[in-house]
Structure 1
């Protein structure tokens, strides 16, 4: 499921980039797309940090171990680290902006109406969605349920709040009021 999702993200990102006049490095866009959700799976999810950072850290290591430049690794790291952050990726470099658009299209259907329907059909035929909605949300639950504190301030808390009985996110207000300052 994650493989097909990641490939669709890359292909949708490429189509959106063309429509938006962006010129991302296709190799870096592909690597970003393929690693963007790896932080939801073991062994990539064994740290107590946001899953986006897990995927970004592993992608950076993958690139550096294969002789890519620090700059290329940073582009990929940024695209993955910010892929679930609302509004910011669209103002970043072309790989980050395009991949975010691909993620939004595949996960939420955002921008789907702007893409050529025949191209979308080809992509989905090559990389079927199956029961994507159910399986995708379950992947989030499985990848985050043992590290719920990593969802603070993210959309990921929404998934646990919906699917994990008794999960309650701590709000920013609670964190400020509970801070060890006297006032």
Structure 2
């Protein structure tokens, strides 16, 4: 499998999601978001998982927007904040209410420890892919050539330090958040050991 075998959808909503992520995310966080979609699409292709590419792409591009200063809520976890931003974004894109709810669910569920692929294929794929990109969990499922291509086209740009700093800040300010739980469960050590940064 090669990176060009993975189709990035070019619907108006996908183009706009990329524009929003580019405007608000750091270059490292933007590349993480794109890589998350690519890991998800590659896993789906390999495992034969049918998924909604537009829904997954928009969720992947916006899943960490709650970590940015403009959308960092002082009351809710970054994933919940991101889900709300995505709902508003999807309303602006003209999506029906049920689809707006779905994109928010996918974003919130990316912080779950596991998402049932039968119940929510897009949520499963984003949870799997973000785990690959942040902690390296499951990275060996991808051929070395594909990993090299993805990292060459979308380099990590110091993501590990930026990401841990974001989570530690979230944890300090929001001790009941998903980020705080991740910090307590050793996310920093897992990020430091990610073979994608080797």
Normalized against structure 2, the TM-score is what? Answer: 0.73
Residues 1:93 and 1:136: Cα distance change in structure 2 (over 3 Å): same
The reply on whether 1:17 has 2:41 as its aligned counterpart is: no
Residues 1:106 and 1:66: Cα distance change in structure 2 (over 3 Å): same
Residues 1:152 and 1:141: Cα distance change in structure 2 (over 3 Å): closer
Q: CA RMSD in A?
A: 2.3
1:33 maps to 60
Q: Secondary structure at the match of 1:148?
A: coil
Question: What is the rounded CA distance, in whole Å, between the counterparts of 1:85 and 1:145 in structure 2?
Answer: 20
Mean Cα displacement is larger for which, 71-80 or 148-157? 148-157
Question: What is the rounded CA distance, in whole Å, between the counterparts of 2:107 and 2:181 in structure 1?
Answer: 14
The reply on whether 1:81 has 2:81 as its aligned counterpart is: no
Q: CA deviation at 1:57?
A: 0.6
Gaps of 5+ in 2: 1-27, 190-198
Question: What is the rounded CA distance, in whole Å, between the counterparts of 1:82 and 1:91 in structure 2?
Answer: 14
The reply on whether 1:55 has 2:97 as its aligned counterpart is: no
1:67 maps to 94
The reply on whether 1:5 has 2:32 as its aligned counterpart is: yes
Q: CA deviation at 1:99?
A: 1.0
Residues 1:93 and 1:149: Cα distance change in structure 2 (over 3 Å): closer
- TM alignment of 1:92-103, pairs within 5 A: 92-103=119-130
Q: Post-superposition, which runs of at least 4 consecutive aligned residues in structure 1 deviate over 4 A?
A: 156-162
Aligned partner (choices 112, 119, 138) of residue 139 of structure 2 = 112
Residues 1:33 and 1:151: Cα distance change in structure 2 (over 3 Å): closer
Gaps of 5+ in 1: 163-183
Question: What is the rounded CA distance, in whole Å, between the counterparts of 2:148 and 2:102 in structure 1?
Answer: 30
Question: What is the rounded CA distance, in whole Å, between the counterparts of 1:82 and 1:156 in structure 2?
Answer: 17
Residues 1:67 and 1:156: Cα distance change in structure 2 (over 3 Å): farther
2:19 maps to none
Residues 1:100 and 1:89: Cα distance change in structure 2 (over 3 Å): farther
Number of aligned residues: 162
Question: What is the rounded CA distance, in whole Å, between the counterparts of 1:156 and 1:89 in structure 2?
Answer: 24
